[in-house]
Structure 1
Amino acid sequence: RQRVGQSLALPMFARVHGLTPTEESVLRGLCEGMEVDEIAAEHGVAESTVRTQVRSLRDKTGAGGIRQLVQRVMALPPVVPALRTGRPLAG
């Protein structure tokens, strides 16, 4: 599983798309390779609740599905390395 928590890319993505803190947490789980049932167990909610949150994520971001949503987040450039060095990212 990949860890997206060490970068600011996900919180920035969440802010741009107007995600709630819970939606951001669900998205983080999806990006880390968690399944809906695992996210539900971690959050202490029903799988149907997480599915509703995923639907909201798709609506807010315009993503066609979970895979596309995760790909969008994972394609974002890392933000923390640029902040640590004070230099802009190449590109």
Structure 2
Amino acid sequence: MTQMQQAQRNLCRMLGLYNDEPEPIEAALHEFIGMFNGPLLLDVSDALNEMFNLNDDGAEAIDNALIGMIGEGNDELLEVVAHEAV
């Protein structure tokens, strides 16, 4: 078993996705990834919004201030931000 496979197996054990049964690591990884297929639960969405201040009215002003600080490449970044906002 490679070091990467050992690390994946250990991570899956710590996350409770894998036990000592001879189940392939890929099956455990697919099960873990499958947990994220679909909309987030409202509690999870609310927690993320709170953690990252996504509902903050001042967030746009902070974003604009940070964009103003980057200097070179500002126009390209503004185009990307404007395109993503659409």
Based on CA coordinates, which of the two structures has the bigger radius of gyration?
2
Q: Same fold (TM over 0.5)?
A: no
Coarse TM-score class (shorter-chain normalised): under 0.3
**TM-score, length-normalised on structure 1?**
0.24
